[in-house]
Structure 1
Amino acid sequence: MAEGLVLSDLTESWFASLLLNLLCYSTVFIPGYFLIKYFKNSNYVDQAGPSVVSRLVMSCVYGHGYDHLPTSDSSSSKTPSAPQDQALGSSFLQLCFCFIGLQVSYLTWGVLQEKIMTKEYHNAEGNIGHFRDSQFLVFVNRILAFILAAGYLLVRRQPRHTAPIYKYSYSSFSNIMSSWCQYEALKYVTFPTQVLAKASKIIPTMMMGKIVRSKKYEYYEYLTAILISIGMTMFLLGSTEAKGTTSSTTTISGVILLVGYMGFDAFTSNWQGELFSKHKMSSVQMMCGVNLFSCLLTSTSLIQQAGFGPSLAFMFTYPTFFWDILILSVCSATGQLFIYYTISVFGPVVFIIIMTIRQGLAILLSCLIYGHPVSMLGVIGIFLVFTALFLRVYCSYRLRVLQQRRQSAGGDVGKI
């Protein structure tokens, strides 16, 4: 009987919605594939001459050469580990600014994300409603992020863009799918469970790095990945809510969606890393390109499924929902800008530490605000996960310092 209910749940809710979304996305990808294939096989650009259309086709399909191009965005070429040319007091204020900005943006985003997808909305007339369209939330987040990135590109000079624009569509698709799985998973798993799953995405990221980029990893990376897996398992076994029967508890659907989220997110980061290494674009150019295709795909799907109407009607029926998604989108977009700024000023190690602290605070806030009980075994699992994350950051930092010392020593020997 229970298995029948799970199968019915998969068929009638998120699984059917997933298939419908993929069908709608195919109406963009299939024509785009044949157009790109036509332009590449027909040498259209050589025959068309220097027209506006041919330049557009060149940018979308072929890209431009990028050898010896000057760059004006430090985040596109290197990420200094610390602002060495600034006073200590100024550096401390910048660090506080980045820390507070990231914490406020993403902690607020996490609280609102859980509220929107799991809680009831009420209005003055006494109506009660649940919002269910995850794709509309993805669209609202992405369109605001695209507007911010495009506005930044208009006022700030960037490196010459060299990548074929269509290549952003791959990471854009995986990005919206990971976000969709993330929102849908909240219907079946608690927010603390989802946060711990995000912390565990190191494992599929490493696997995807092996597949996509043939990347090699150090021994400590495998060790911390194992510790994270053990900690996540302990948390799931020790979560007292997982023993309940409500729709928010961990189910087969929730596990599948979390695995989907981690897999798509792992591909996104590795594909973007590949684009960065090959085409040297700035991080804001990447943000703009990815969000452009995300807006195109989600809006096309929402139009074909008539999804805008019900979501907008829900927004006008429950005014609180409007303010929730507005603040959610603002936090998502500004959070991305804080990410790029933090990495460019302080480097990736400081950024990872800040975001690791944010994940721990997010679990604490969710348990306090929404009352998620966790047993002692679950607490030990959380502690083990974050200990492994900090160990990973420390080992990465120490390895980088040792490599720099060896290179420096080798250079000194060469001079002698």
Structure 2
Amino acid sequence: MEGTRKHLFGCSLGIFFSYFFYGIIQEKITKSKFGRENDKFTCILTLVFIQCIINAIIAFIAMKLQNNEVVKSRVPKRLFAFCSLTYIGAMFASNYSLQHVNYPTQVLGKSAKPIPVMILGVLWAKKSYPLRKYGFVFMITLGVMLFLMKDFSSFKLSNSSVIGFGEILLLISLAFDGITGAVQDDLRTKYNVRAYDLMLNMNLWSLVYLFPAILISKEFTVFAQFIIKHPEILTWVVGFGLTSALGQIFIFASITNFGPLMTSIVTTTRKFFTILASVIIFQNPMNFIQGIGTGLVFLGLVLDQMYGKERKLKV
């Protein structure tokens, strides 16, 4: 069943606030230097592993509270397994890119997420969108990128003449985002998968992939040594997992009710509204380019709500 606009608004607010704090903590963990020796945290696999553990625990508790029991999923395990693989690939590539690019560059790159989600939705999940829908999504994405380009004055490529390794990781992450969205569309339309079912299974399968990777790379030993040397980071890691879990509750609720494309639009405009609030509250100046970006985002969102609905697929 499709969700209501009130439900969409609630999911959007939950995503906005959860990932606002998630982004702050993510930057703190991956970009800060700890201790007198200015040690840098590099255990990205372990960080994502802990994140998925907390996500799975929260999803399990939510299912128990909602249904009084964890109902066995009707979805074929291979779909969850594949979707989780691309989900982990996108998350790892995005987090690891922060070792090579600054945070504004990562945020700006991920702002293009609705585009691969839409493209892969058409190619993989055989979705059908009105032509105007493509224009509205592109308008929103371009508006966010123009707006962030000005605010993030430190935005730059890793190398002045060629795309660096960090940017390549962001492109890989976007490609995986598109595939993940397409598979989630299949799960939503063919199996009517529920939000907590999707959240729990995707994170459990992610743990299956991450655990051997951590053992083979011996990264957990490095992580344990880092925690012993800098115990203050443990609070940030737990906070990272908790904000991720809260955000995923709203994201998977949005996916199962409104689809991956609408969810990606929400997560993209979340970045825009966070920065826009800063401009308004602290009266930071907005230049001409930001004005154009703001106009494109609002125009795209309004037009999409009025005219951008998907055509019903014929069965």
- Which of the five TM-score ranges fits, normalised by the shorter chain? 0.7 to 0.9
Alignment pair present for 1:359 and 2:267: no
Residue 282 of structure 1 is matched in structure 2 by 194
Using the TM superposition, give the Cα deviation of residue 237 of structure 1 relative to its aligned residue in structure 2, in angstroms: 9.6
2-side partners of 1:393 and 1:155: how far apart? 35
Alignment pair present for 1:169 and 2:77: no
Pairing of 1:173-188 with structure 2 (within 5 A): 173-188=85-100
Alignment pair present for 1:192 and 2:111: no
Pairing of 1:304-315 with structure 2 (within 5 A): 304-315=216-227
Pairing of 1:282-361 with structure 2 (within 5 A): 282-340=194-252, 355-356=267-268, 358-361=270-273
In structure 2, runs of 5+ residues without a counterpart are: 280-284
2-side partners of 1:116 and 1:202: how far apart? 27
Higher mean Cα deviation, 332-341 or 348-357?
348-357
Q: 1:240 to 1:255 in 2, by over 3 A?
A: same
> For the Cα contact (< 8 Å) 2:31–2:40, is it kept in 1?
yes
* RMSD, aligned CA: 3.9
Alignment pair present for 1:394 and 2:302: yes
SS of structure 2 residue aligned to 1:114: helix
Using the TM superposition, give the Cα deviation of residue 340 of structure 1 relative to its aligned residue in structure 2, in angstroms: 4.8
1:332 corresponds to which letter in structure 2? S
Q: 1:259 to 1:385 in 2, by over 3 A?
A: farther
Alignment pair present for 1:133 and 2:30: no
In structure 1, runs of 5+ residues without a counterpart are: 1-76, 84-93, 368-373, 405-416
Residue 118 of structure 1 is matched in structure 2 by 31
2-side partners of 1:101 and 1:275: how far apart? 23
Residue 268 of structure 1 is matched in structure 2 by 180
Residue 74 of structure 1 is matched in structure 2 by none
Alignment pair present for 1:78 and 2:78: no
> For the Cα contact (< 8 Å) 2:133–2:308, is it kept in 1?
no
1-side partners of 2:120 and 2:265: how far apart? 23
Larger radius of gyration: 1
1-side partners of 2:99 and 2:278: how far apart? 15
Higher mean Cα deviation, 293-302 or 354-363?
354-363
2-side partners of 1:224 and 1:230: how far apart? 10
SS of structure 2 residue aligned to 1:147: helix
Q: 1:398 to 1:346 in 2, by over 3 A?
A: same
1-side partners of 2:38 and 2:296: how far apart? 43
2-side partners of 1:229 and 1:401: how far apart? 20
Using the TM superposition, give the Cα deviation of residue 388 of structure 1 relative to its aligned residue in structure 2, in angstroms: 3.7
Using the TM superposition, give the Cα deviation of residue 177 of structure 1 relative to its aligned residue in structure 2, in angstroms: 0.7
2-side partners of 1:348 and 1:79: how far apart? 13
Percent identical among aligned pairs is: 24
2-side partners of 1:141 and 1:224: how far apart? 33
Using the TM superposition, give the Cα deviation of residue 402 of structure 1 relative to its aligned residue in structure 2, in angstroms: 12
Q: 1:101-159, CA deviations, whole angstroms, 9 ceiling, x for partnerless residues?
A: 4333211110111121122112xxx3421011221111111110011112222332277
Using the TM superposition, give the Cα deviation of residue 191 of structure 1 relative to its aligned residue in structure 2, in angstroms: 2.0
Q: 1:71-114, CA deviations, whole angstroms, 9 ceiling, x for partnerless residues?
A: xxxxxx3312337xxxxxxxxxx96x766643332111101111
Q: 1:316 to 1:402 in 2, by over 3 A?
A: closer
Using the TM superposition, give the Cα deviation of residue 226 of structure 1 relative to its aligned residue in structure 2, in angstroms: 4.5
Q: 1:32-66, CA deviations, whole angstroms, 9 ceiling, x for partnerless residues?
A: xxxxxxxxxxxxxxxxxxxxxxxxxxxxxxxxxxx
1-side partners of 2:256 and 2:85: how far apart? 26
> For the Cα contact (< 8 Å) 1:159–1:282, is it kept in 2?
no
> For the Cα contact (< 8 Å) 1:349–1:393, is it kept in 2?
no
Which has the bigger relative contact order, CA under 8 A and spacing at least 6?
2
Using the TM superposition, give the Cα deviation of residue 266 of structure 1 relative to its aligned residue in structure 2, in angstroms: 1.1
2-side partners of 1:168 and 1:175: how far apart? 10
Q: 1:350 to 1:128 in 2, by over 3 A?
A: same
Q: 1:214 to 1:198 in 2, by over 3 A?
A: same
> What is the TM-score of this pair, normalised by structure 1?
0.62
Using the TM superposition, give the Cα deviation of residue 361 of structure 1 relative to its aligned residue in structure 2, in angstroms: 5.0
Using the TM superposition, give the Cα deviation of residue 241 of structure 1 relative to its aligned residue in structure 2, in angstroms: 3.1
1:128 corresponds to which letter in structure 2? N
Alignment pair present for 1:102 and 2:12: no
2-side partners of 1:365 and 1:78: how far apart? 30
Residue 60 of structure 2 is matched in structure 1 by 150
2-side partners of 1:280 and 1:166: how far apart? 16
2-side partners of 1:165 and 1:343: how far apart? 19
Using the TM superposition, give the Cα deviation of residue 299 of structure 1 relative to its aligned residue in structure 2, in angstroms: 1.1
